Chains A and B, each alone.
Chain A
């Protein structure tokens, strides 16, 4: 990731598609892995236990967002099908896990994949109209799916566990050890996020991933060269929803409660923002986007808390900060779209390719 090649030497597709293009890449990944494993301890040493817990909580939100963003990117970025209903599949996952955990006493390593599969099944159904409906019409159809799923959860007590539509779920437990604090839950989220990243990297360079890209670029042409459009579009919806379902479960374990009100349209839109800012059709872009969208409000707030005191009175400041935060958030989305359509990932690639031949550019 951070290594620097001295030029372009690849001569085969295999080399181009390799996960580790150079031996040094293995080392970078290894260093990252070690860093990730000791992150809570590292932060504790650097800033004390109390602050470390806070920073880890932010990392946790980023990790969860990465899983969801990867899923949405498979559908939107790789397959070119717009969805504004991503959050609904998180609900499906959340309630599946909560019901399994509470009614059947299932541990998280069962509920997690089970919820993913349930969400995938629902996602595949929602994906069926994509064969006939395209573009904006499809986007609105997914919005409809979101509303229908919300409505169903809200009105079927068998799913939602009563009129409050919330199910309290016990904390995840592994070998008798209960994961409660953010620093403990961190490892669960880390493992799931890493698995998702690796799975996505391998998916997109497989036959399936190439079929997705072919459909995105020109679906009629893809059909002519023998790609079963219906199969792959539905599959894309299912895979994407699987990730969303898992994301929903992670949120549920974090909050200790499954509640569909956590997964409404605003959540879907946040995730769309992530992949657009990060970069569509890119794994690294999903990671960048998830990080960026999670951190942005926090950074703006810290900035305003420190700078705003010079410009506004104490009474005004609480009203100013949210307004600025929302304004800057919207502005950045637009700036990105106008100036760097391919998002943060492209920015990163530009930097890398600049340094690839630096300082002897030709």
Chain B
């Protein structure tokens, strides 16, 4: 039983780290209906940028955070403007493919520009494990989880209470009506992407320091899908709850299912769970049900 507790503790932390990546995905989908298959590459780009600031240029950590934030916001803005705006209203497969193309560009040119060697960036909290009752925690994961929760709080507040957030929800609900009400739809699209850029920047730094900085950071992008589908594509709390579920299920599967089936079920269990969940709730746990009309 003790072991199960430890596994769940593991799962909660790592799950929140997954949420950190998923939040960017959900933000963009919620506001603009665009699907970002390059989420992993976004995070990789942020990691590469902060890696070259810290290791390459030898600047302190906080400079890297600022540079990564600025670069990712600028990048997301430009991306929205140049690539995604012309694709508005087109079938989702077009947007999916565009972001897949973007992923190829980032994987090709990212390491070319920012260096392909593996580097390590260390968060100011250090590397020494922290003991917390029976749990021994990696400081990186703790930071990641806290950042994730912070974003959850901030975005929830933003969408529920702030004027801009309400306007963004209106845009998400119905672009035509929103723009008839005098909301500048395109401005809010840009804002949503900029917010996704912020999330990706911090995600990149946290995951970069967990995995080491090189192209392989992009692999975390694969973890996003079960998280967002379970939680619902357009729900901020859904991303966090989805992350928690995936994290916990993964860990329990590795601990209790693997010995039975004799293979790694960690990656596969969340997908199975996801399919089962979809059969009962086709729009995720917190997703908005779309009403279709002819």
Contact = CB atoms under 8 A, between A and B. Distances in A.
Given A147-B268, A155-B261, A326-B107, A276 B294 contact: no
A154 B109 contact: no
Across the A-B interface, the 9 shortest Cβ-Cβ residue pairs: A326-B108, A333-B101, A330-B104, A330-B105, A323-B112, A144-B271, A330-B101, A327-B108, A155-B263
B58 interface: no
B90 interface: yes
A334 B263 contact: no
Contacts of A319: 112, 116
Nearest to B108: A326
B225 interface: yes
B83 A334 contact: yes
A188 interface: no
A129 B278 contact: yes
A341 B94 contact: yes
B225 to A, nearest CB: 5
Interface string A321-338: 011111101111110011
A50 B43 CA distance: 46
7 contacts: A137-B282, A137-B284, A141-B275, A276-B94, A320-B112, A327-B105, A333-B98
Interface of B: 35, 83, 86-87, 90-94, 96-98, 100-109, 111-112, 116, 225-226, 229, 233, 261-263, 265, 267-268, 271-272, 274-275, 278-279, 282-284, 292-294
Contacts of A155: 261-263
Contacts of A76: 93
Contacts of A129: 275, 278-279
B86 A338 contact: yes
A319 B111 CA distance: 10
A132 B282 contact: yes
A147 B266 CA distance: 12
Given A133-B278, A137-B282, A220-B292, A330 B272 contact: no
A183 B16 CA distance: 55
A273 B105 CA distance: 14
A82 B105 contact: no
B97 A276 contact: yes
Interface range for A: 35 or more
A151 interface: yes
B272 A136 contact: no
Nearest to A84: B96
A134 interface: yes
Contacts of A133: 278, 282
A129 B279 CA distance: 7
A330 B278 contact: no
Contacts of A325: 108
Interface of A: 76, 80, 82, 129, 132-137, 139-141, 143-144, 147-148, 151, 154-155, 218, 220-221, 224, 269, 272-273, 276, 280, 319-320, 322-327, 329-334, 337-338, 341
Given A82-B92, A323-B108, A330 B102 contact: yes
A156 to B, nearest CB: 10
A319 B112 CA distance: 8
Contacts, number: 129
A331 B105 CA distance: 7
A241 B192 CA distance: 38
Nearest to A326: B108
A331 B278 contact: no
Nearest to A143: B225
B101 A144 contact: no
A137 B101 contact: no
B108 A324 contact: yes
A325 B282 CA distance: 39
A224 B90 CA distance: 25
A151 B271 CA distance: 11
B290 to A, nearest CB: 8
B263 A151 contact: yes
Contact of B225 (A132, A140, A218, A337): A140
Given A276-B97, A331-B105, 12 more contacts: A129-B275, A132-B279, A136-B96, A151-B268, A272-B96, A272-B100, A319-B116, A323-B112, A330-B105, A331-B101, A333-B100, A338-B86
Contact of A140 (B90, B261, B263, B274): B274
A272 B91 CA distance: 14
Given A144-B275, A147-B268, A323-B108, A280 B93 contact: yes
B49 to A, nearest CB: 17
B253 to A, nearest CB: 12
B233 A136 contact: yes
Contacts of B279: 129, 132
A132 B284 CA distance: 12
Given A136-B233, A141-B275, A333-B98, A341 B90 contact: yes
Given A147-B268, A154-B263, A327 B97 contact: no
A147 B229 CA distance: 16
B130 to A, nearest CB: 34
Contacts of A329: 101, 104, 108
Given A154-B263, A326-B109, A334 B98 contact: yes
Given A136-B35, A220-B294, A341-B90, A334 B101 contact: yes
A334 B102 contact: yes
A337 B262 contact: no
A150 B232 CA distance: 26
Given A151-B268, A280-B93, A338 B87 contact: yes
Q: Which of A82, A144, A273, A325 has the most chain B CB atoms inside 10 A of its CB?
A: A144
